[in-house]
């Protein structure tokens, strides 16, 4: 009788461990990082505020917004066309466009394999 309780406890522990491992692996691990601009298109307007969000995706393609992705944004072209408004959050870049022209941003993350080049055209 005592041996069956021990076996049941071990089996229950193994099942809970496996379910926890599968939950972490499929739902909480970051498989991909995407960058989202607050505008719907690649043409953005002068004298407007925009934000670029760094969003992690799990194995099912769902957003994992509560994880810190340690993103880094570097302006490669057109830094004089924008005014940075807030940069203390590493998952967001908030900026205001001040002139027309082209903007090129190199966005990278701790979880991304390669940096992503974001290109936008600022129009009047």
Its pTM stands at 0.76
Helix, strand, or coil (residue 103): strand
% of the chain residues with pLDDT over 90: 46
Reported as a single tens digit per residue, the pLDDT across 37-56 is 887 776 788 888 999 999 99
Tokens of 122: 């600022």
Contact (CB, 8 A) for 105 and 74: yes
CB under 8 Å, gap of 24 or more: what pairs does 21-28 form?
Answer: 25/59, 26/58, 26/59, 26/60, 27/58, 27/59, 27/60, 27/62, 28/58, 28/64, 28/67
């Amino acid at each position: 009788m005592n041996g069956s309780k021990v076996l049941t406890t071990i089996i229950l522990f193994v099942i809970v461990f496996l379910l926890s491992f599968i939950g972490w692996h499929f739902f909480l691990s970051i498989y991909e990082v995407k960058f989202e601009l607050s505008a719907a298109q690649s043409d953005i307007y002068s004298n407007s505020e925009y934000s670029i969000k760094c969003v992690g995706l799990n194995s099912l393609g769902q957003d994992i917004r509560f994880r810190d992705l340690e993103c880094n944004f570097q302006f490669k072209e057109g830094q004089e066309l924008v005014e940075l408004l807030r940069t203390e959050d590493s998952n967001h870049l908030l900026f205001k466009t001040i002139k027309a022209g082209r903007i090129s941003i190199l966005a990278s993350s701790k979880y991304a394999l390669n940096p992503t080049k974001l290109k936008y055209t600022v129009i009047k």
